[in-house]
Structures are given as structure tokens and as C-alpha cells.
Structure 1
Amino acid sequence: MLSRHEQATERWSGAHQVIDNWLQARQLLLIDYFKLAGLPPYESDHNVLPSTSELRDFCGLLVDYVSAGHFEVYDRLISSASELPKATHELTSRLFRLIAETTEVALDFNDSFGDLAPKAPLPGFDAALSQLGEALELRMEFEDELMQTLEQHQLLTAPSPAAE
């Protein structure tokens, strides 16, 4: 996930202010996810539950990220794409449906764990966190495909690589 995000940042950073803000939100979410999951480089004791503030902060970032995607990034960029070929509209529609499925996983996680005080075992937390990680990875794949499609139609101009 981190390498996908780094590649997306290298490719589309500076292309559009909305994209820059969204990529920054993606990075913050990934860092907190890796911390919460105890994934390298953030080692943790898997027997210790996250604090209430850690869970709330993470869920806040999660909801902000998925909301920004739907209500800022996708809508704004696609609304400027009225002249795209039918095949491209079909592709973006398919990607939106797939992204929406990952949104449901994120919102379910938030609903299940966002307001809990983790003083006792959280039933299903590890499985839900793992499922969320898989959904986030898929979401980033779909988002990057969407950005690449927009770039191909010159609706998103990525900076060219620096000449050496």
C-alpha cells in the first residue's frame, strides 16, 4: 500500500490542488493504519488494544479520506469530463461502483469501532482491521486507475519527470 501511494504521489502531486490535499490525506490514513495494525515500520504488541483516542483519530481520518474522494476529488474531476468517450464514461462508472464497495467496508469499520472505549477485548477487531486493509488496498488501486484514465484524457496533468 505504501509503495502504491508513493508512486501515486510522484505521478500526480502538483497536478491539481484537490489531488494534492487528497494524496496527503491518503498518506496520513496509511500511516495511522500501519500504526494501528502494528505493521512495519510501526511495531506494536498485538495483545494491547489501541487507545480510545487512537481509534477515534484513525476513524476520523478514514471517514475524511473516503468522503473527500467521493465529494471533492471524483465529482470535481469527472464533472469537467463531459466530453469523454462513452468507453471512458463506462470505465469511470465501473470504478466508482468498485470504490463505493470499499467505502462501505470503511464506514462499517467506523460504525463498529469509531466510538468504542477499548477497555475490554474488541470482538472481531483484528478481522475487521484486516478486511479494511484489503479494502483500502483495492480502493487505492481503483483510484489510481481512475487518475490514470483522467490523465490519459488530459483532464489531469501530471508534472513531467525532471530531466537529468
Structure 2
Amino acid sequence: MYTRVQQAQQKYGGSLKAIDSWLQERRELIVSYCRLAGLPPFEKDRHTMPSQDKIKEFCQLLMDYLSAGHFEVYEQIVAQCAVNGTNSRKLADSLYPKIAVSTDLALEFNDKYAEHLSTRNSGSFDLELSALGQAMEERFALEDKLIDTLHAKHVSTTTTA
């Protein structure tokens, strides 16, 4: 996941401020996820339950990332689709329901764990965090397709204008 966001930042960096900010938020989210999950280079904490503060911090980054995507980047993609043709709009329309699946999963995770990790929920935390990680990885791949479309249309319209 982290390598993919670095590649996206290299490929799309500097083209649109919204994309740059969003990819930086994605990078921060991935680092926070790896820390929470005890993945390298944070594996030393793998066998301990993360603190509520770390969980809350991750959930806040997750909600910020989802909001930025929905209210900033997706809106720009839709606007560019209106200007640059229906093929881009069809792509966005086909990908959005798939992206929404991970949004629902992320919202459920946030609702369940952001404010209080009860002993009742702690047994399922690792499984749900893993499922969220997989869903987010799929989401990032879908979002990269949207970013690629926006980047291609933005670059072509700004260089021909």
C-alpha cells in the first residue's frame, strides 16, 4: 500500500493541489494503519492491543481521508467529466459503488472503535482492522483509476488551453 501511494505521488504530484493533499492524507493513513496493525516497521507492538488514543487517531485520519475524497477529489472528477466527455463519467459512475463498499466498512469501524474499545469488541478488533485494510487497499486501486482519469483530462485541458 505504501509503495503504491509513493508511486501515485510521483506520477500525479504537482498536477492538482487537491490530489496532492489527498495522496498525502492517504500516506498518513497508511502509516497509521501499519502502526495500529503492528506491520513493519511497527511490528514490535504486534502482540499488544493498541491504545485508545492510537485507535482514535487512526479513525480521525480515516474519516478525514474519506471526506476529502468525497467532497474534494470526486467533485473535481465529476466536474472534469462534464467538460471532457462521457467516457470519464462512465468510469466514475462504475467505480463509485465499489468505492462506497469500503466507505461503509470504514464508517462501521469508526463507529465501533473510535470512541471506546470495549472488551466486548476487542476480540474482533484485529479481524475487523485486517478486513478494513484489505478494503482500503482495493479502494486505493479504484481511486487511482479516478485520479488517473482526472490527471489525464486536467493535463490535456491545461496544455491545450
TM-score (norm 2): 0.89
| Contact map agreement 1:49 1:121 (CA 8 A) in 2 | no
Aligned residues: CA RMSD? 1.8
Matched with 2:134 is: 134
Distance 1:121 1:81, change over 3 A: closer
Structure 1 moving runs of 4+ over 4 Å: 117-121
Q: What 5-or-longer segments of structure 1 have no aligned partner? A: 158-164
Give the distance between the partners of 1:122 and 1:90, measured in 2 at CA: 41
Q: What 5-or-longer segments of structure 2 have no aligned partner? A: 157-161
Matched with 1:70 is: 70
Matched with 1:2 is: 2
1:119-155, CA deviations, whole angstroms, 9 ceiling, x for partnerless residues? 7870310110000100110010001011112233x22
Give the distance between the partners of 1:88 and 1:43, measured in 2 at CA: 41
Matched with 1:160 is: none
| Contact map agreement 1:13 1:20 (CA 8 A) in 2 | yes
**Structure 1 or 2: larger helix share?**
2
Q: What is the Cα deviation at residue 68 of structure 1? A: 0.6
The worse-fitting range, judged by mean Cα deviation, of 71-80 and 117-126 is 117-126
1:94-140, CA deviations, whole angstroms, 9 ceiling, x for partnerless residues? 11111111111111110111111467870310110000100110010
| Contact map agreement 1:38 1:45 (CA 8 A) in 2 | yes
Point out which structure has higher relative CO (alpha carbons under 8 A, 6+ apart): 1
Instruction: Give the SS at the match of 1:14.
Output: coil
Matched with 1:33 is: 33
Give the distance between the partners of 2:119 and 2:155, measured in 1 at CA: 46
Could you tell me the percent identity over the aligned residues? 39
Q: What is the Cα deviation at residue 81 of structure 1? A: 2.7
Aligned pair count? 156
Q: What is the Cα deviation at residue 46 of structure 1? A: 3.2
Q: What is the Cα deviation at residue 73 of structure 1? A: 1.0
Instruction: Give the SS at the match of 2:93.
Output: helix
Matched with 1:47 is: 47
Paired amino acid for 1:40: P
Matched with 2:154 is: 155
Paired amino acid for 1:55: I
- After superposition, residues 78-97 of structure 1 pair within 5 angstroms as 78-97=78-97
Give the distance between the partners of 2:81 and 2:121, measured in 1 at CA: 48
| Contact map agreement 1:16 1:156 (CA 8 A) in 2 | no
Give the distance between the partners of 1:84 and 1:92, measured in 2 at CA: 13
